Amino acid sequence: MVLLIAAPAGAQEAGPEGGAAGASPAAAAPAESVPAATAPAATPQPLPGGEGAAPADTASPAPEPAASEAPAAEASPPVPAPSGMPVGGAALPHDLSPWGMFLQADIVVKAVMVGLALASLATWTVWLAKGIELASAKRRARSATRKLERAQSLDEATRLIDGAWTRKGPVADLVHAAARERERSADLSAEGLKERLSIALSRIEARAGRGMTRGTGLLATIGATAPFIGLFGTVWGIMNSFIGISQAKTTNLAVVAPGIAEALLATAIGLVAAIPAVIIYNVFARSIA
């Protein structure tokens, strides 16, 4: 009996100890699994800026705004500079009229344009002066020719030609030269007199022709050289345009067009000066002949 009573008692004592021993691993297992479950939340995640440790759920949204801003900055198109604003240190001209382009042109191109404008002015001045001179000479020649047709002798022709209107001019000079040569060669034969008269009249005709052609040589010079002078201004202006393009580092039409337009304006002025000069020279040459 004593043994039977002692055995349950030992079993009861051993039971709690065994239960405690058996329960301790079970209790320890959850204690060890708790840090494993909470480790991701407690582990600090380093931020891109190198800040201190922060929870993962609060640190993860931080890079998203930077990622969303980067494509916007890359996708934004370049804003072109408005007209009149400095591009690469050079101000674009506001006015593309001939006068505005002249004001914006280089000093060399300006000098070419001014020279061609003066040449054009000289062309029209010669045209006006020679036109009046040739018209007056033609009227005198027609009037003197009609008087000579009515004369029956050299003395009568000299008397008719000495009128107020026909006293001056090539025809009057020819008649007076013939009268003087007849007096000088009175002792010569008819053939000798004709030869001397022919030589004297040829000299008077050549002198009158040189007087009539005075000023037309300038027209020929302007007509021959003005296009090349304008071309020089164009080449110089285009060189400056290329330099401006390289400095601005852009091929925008707003940067390229003004310089090229200024350069082409020099050629246009050269043609404006040359074409009328050639036409007027040819007209005067036919009239004088």
The predicted pLDDT at position 6 comes to: 41
Asked if pLDDT for residue 131 goes beyond 60, the answer is: yes
218 within 8 A of 226, measured Cβ to Cβ: no
The distance from CA 279 to its chain's CA centroid, rounded to whole angstroms, is: 29
At 163, the pLDDT band (50, 70, 90 cuts) reads low
* DSSP letters spanning 55-113: -HHHHTTTHHHHHHHHHHHHHPPPPPPPTTSEETTEEPPS--SHHHHHHHS-HHHHHHH
Token pair belonging to 127 = 């045209």
106 within 8 A of 236, measured Cβ to Cβ: yes
The predicted pLDDT at position 84 comes to: 42
Q: Is 222 exposed, middle or buried (0-12, 13-18, 19+ CB in 10 A)?
A: buried
- Alpha-carbon span 188 to 139, nearest angstrom: 36
Report the amino acid identity of residue 99: W
Residue-wise pLDDT tens digits, 240-258: 888 878 887 777 777 777 7
At 165, the pLDDT band (50, 70, 90 cuts) reads low
- Alpha-carbon span 240 to 234, nearest angstrom: 10
- Find the mean pLDDT for residues 255-283: 88
- Alpha-carbon span 93 to 258, nearest angstrom: 7
- Give φ, ψ of 86 to 5 degrees: -70, 130
278 within 8 A of 121, measured Cβ to Cβ: no
Residues 163-193: b if buried by 16+ CB within 10 A, e if exposed: eeebeebbbbbbbbbbeebeeebeeeeeeeb
Residues 75-88: b if buried by 16+ CB within 10 A, e if exposed: eeeeeebeeeeebe
The predicted pLDDT at position 63 comes to: 47
What is the residue whose two structure tokens read 């002249």?
102
Residue-wise pLDDT tens digits, 40-55: 444 444 444 444 444 4
Asked if pLDDT for residue 116 goes beyond 90, the answer is: yes
Asked if pLDDT for residue 32 goes beyond 60, the answer is: no
Residue-wise pLDDT tens digits, 254-263: 777 777 888 8
| Nearest alpha carbon to residue 222 among 270, 282, 263 | 270
pTM assigned to the model:
0.56
Residue 60 vs residue 287, higher pLDDT = 287
Percent over 90 (pLDDT), the chain:
17
Residue 230 vs residue 182, higher pLDDT = 230
The predicted pLDDT at position 115 comes to: 93
- Give φ, ψ of 9 to 5 degrees: -65, -40
Residue 241 vs residue 220, higher pLDDT = 220
At 94, the pLDDT band (50, 70, 90 cuts) reads low
At 95, the pLDDT band (50, 70, 90 cuts) reads low
